[in-house]
Amino acid sequence: MDTINNKELIDAIEKMQQEKNAESQNKVIAEVLKAKFMCPVILENAPKGGGKININKDTKIQFSIIKTTNDKNFLIAFTSEEEVHKWQKNKTQQSIIYTFEDYSMIAEKNDNLEGFIIDPKGCNLVFTKNMIRQIKNSITRESVVKKDTQVELSIPKDLTDDLESKLKDVFSNIKEIKKAYFLNMLKEDEKSYLLIIDANGNEKQYFNTIASAAIPFLNGIPLNLLPINTEFGTKAIQQFKPFYEVNE
């Protein structure tokens, strides 16, 4: 299994437990969105004694879950092998590396799951389905700019290579996306990103895919998504060059 390192997340959780305020909570959420977790599973035809196994669409996966005292089922997200061993001593445990987005998709598709718990024998941090939805909705949203609203746009200086690479990879796999503009947006003293998409009028059907891919790399900064064929979108792109463009 690939090595994972969640030191920044653990440090953020410890700080939040000492300083319970909005800043420390937001830092934990930002780190959770970037983290990679070990999800304990039982895989069909897994090698005895652990080791790697190739997973494809036909591989049967049985998830290990925790049942709470009020009979609710949660997936488990471990930050390290040490935390796995706290939960299941002296046993070889097969695991898959998953992200926040992976856990959220699995939980949303399964009515019997309430969310996931990080390190149940450690920090025991719970993320319910409702919390997951709130986090995703607060970070990515379809932008609505009312007329006469004061908005300041600029080229972002804090765009990370990881976010840029991830977005361009998503765009390249959606043939209808011809152009994309990535901007800083300051609206009513709130800083966020603005992503304007040109996909032949079908922009909205790709918003969930784009948002899901971007979330782990946003560092808690909200991302607004906007079709190019809107009044605000048309005006906004007149000042800037595309962040992504298909050369035909």
DSSP summary character for residue 189: T
Whether residue 47 has pLDDT greater than 80: no
Between 212 and 186, residue with greater pLDDT = 186
Q: How confident is the model at residue 215 (pLDDT cuts 50, 70, 90)?
A: confident
Contact by Cβ (8 Å): 194, 3: no
What pLDDT, on a 0 to 100 scale, did the predictor assign at position 176?
94
The CA distance from 46 to 172, in Å, is 34
Mean pLDDT of 44-57: 55
What pLDDT, on a 0 to 100 scale, did the predictor assign at position 212?
77
Contact by Cβ (8 Å): 38, 63: no
The CA distance from 118 to 52, in Å, is 23
What pLDDT, on a 0 to 100 scale, did the predictor assign at position 61?
81
Whether residue 45 has pLDDT greater than 90: no
What pLDDT, on a 0 to 100 scale, did the predictor assign at position 129?
93
Whether residue 191 has pLDDT greater than 70: yes
What pLDDT, on a 0 to 100 scale, did the predictor assign at position 164?
92
Q: In the chain, what are the domain boundaries?
A: 7-139, 143-245
Taking the CB of residue 112, how many other CB atoms lie within 10 A of it?
A: 8
What pLDDT, on a 0 to 100 scale, did the predictor assign at position 34?
82
> Over 191-235, what HEC string results?
EEEEEEEECCCCHHHHHHHHHHHHHHHCCCCCEEEEECCCHHHHH
Q: How confident is the model at residue 126 (pLDDT cuts 50, 70, 90)?
A: very high
Q: How confident is the model at residue 38 (pLDDT cuts 50, 70, 90)?
A: very high
Contact by Cβ (8 Å): 220, 26: yes
Mean pLDDT for the chain overall: 85
Mean pLDDT of 96-118: 92
Domain 143-245 architecture: 2-Layer Sandwich (3.30)
Count of residues for the chain? 248
Per-residue model confidence as pLDDT tens digits over 136-166: 877 777 666 666 667 899 999 888 898 999 9
Mean pLDDT of 52-62: 65
Q: How confident is the model at residue 4 (pLDDT cuts 50, 70, 90)?
A: confident
Whether residue 208 has pLDDT greater than 90: no
pTM of the shown model: 0.65
Whether residue 57 has pLDDT greater than 80: no
